[in-house]
Structure formats: C-alpha cells, structure tokens
Amino acid sequence: MIVTLTLNGDSRSVEIDGHESLLRMLREQLDAPGAKSACEQGECGSCTVVMDEDIVCSCLVLAADAEGAVVTTVEGLGTPERLHPVQQAFVDHGAVQCGFCTPGLIVAAAHLFATEAAPAQDRIREALAGNLCRCTGYGAIERALQSLIDEGAT
C-alpha cells in the first residue's frame, strides 16, 4: 500500500505494510527519527507528533491512517542554524538531560504555544502530562517554557 502525506512541509509517498505504525514509517522509511520508540503503548509521549493539527502518539496511529495527513515532527520545527523558540528555550534553560524524551516534549510544547500565546502554568503542565521524563523533575522544562511567555518569544 502507498501512503502519501505531507511531512514537515514536504509531500512524501512511501510503501508500507498494512499493520505498520506511523512511528515506524517515520523512523524507518521517512528519515524522521526524532520521534522515539519507547513504550509503544501511547503512555510515554516519546513518539509525539502533530497530525492534522492534533497531538498524537505516533506509535498508536496506523501508517495507513496518515494517508493525506499533514504531519509535523521535531525535525520540522527548526533547523540547526535557527532553532524553534521552544527548542532554544530548552537549550538555554538546561531542560535537556539525556534527550530521549526531549523531541516529544518539544513537539507538545510547540503545539501548545501555536494555539495559546501565553498559556498559564496549569495549561503547560496539562499539555506536557502525556510526556514522561525519567531524568528531570520537570522544573527546568517549566522554567524554559515560562521564559518564552516572559520574553514574548512565541
């Protein structure tokens, strides 16, 4: 089966098996390894992407269901030369530890800031609730995102 989608602004087509997940298709066939494979049960958020303007765990979405979809991964948010404001805030405030959960957290946070310019602290926590991190108490992440609000950088 051929799936055609818009990935990070580019039209892409790929042949898939009928049972393949969006996560596997992204990582193994579309050169978008930022979404991480961890729990593969939709519990950890490491595979978070935006699909048709909604946050999804790509491990729970069949690749076939991405037909005609617009998908944004962490690779589509910024470039090495010009990071997305959320990416830059994570760097500036030490919100990256081992980095495994970071792409999912950044995608979730960028989606939040795309829909709300200055979310309240409880909204930030709610938006990130589906993303688990074993390395941090989330303080640096919250400070990084609060800095975006304080600086009006989103």
In this predicted model, what pLDDT tens digit does every residue of 50-101 receive, in sequence order?
999 999 999 999 999 999 999 999 999 999 999 999 999 999 999 988 889 9
What percent helix, strand, coil does the chain show, rounded to 5? 40, 15, 45
CA distances from 95 to 51, 88, 130, 143 (A): 25, 10, 17, 8
Nearest C-alpha neighbor of 144 from the set 104, 97, 88? 88
Nearest C-alpha neighbor of 83 from the set 153, 140, 135? 153
Q: pLDDT category, 18, cuts 50, 70, 90?
A: confident
Mean pLDDT within 25-43? 95
Helix (H, G, I), strand (E, B) or coil at 53: coil
Rounded CA separation 98/63 (Å) = 28
List, in order of start, the domains of the chain with CATH numbers.
2-76 (3.10.20.30), 85-151 (1.10.150.120)
- pLDDT more than 90, % of the chain: 87
Run of H or E including 146: helix 139-151
Alpha carbon 127 to its chain centroid, in Å, reads 12
pLDDT recorded at residue 10 = 98
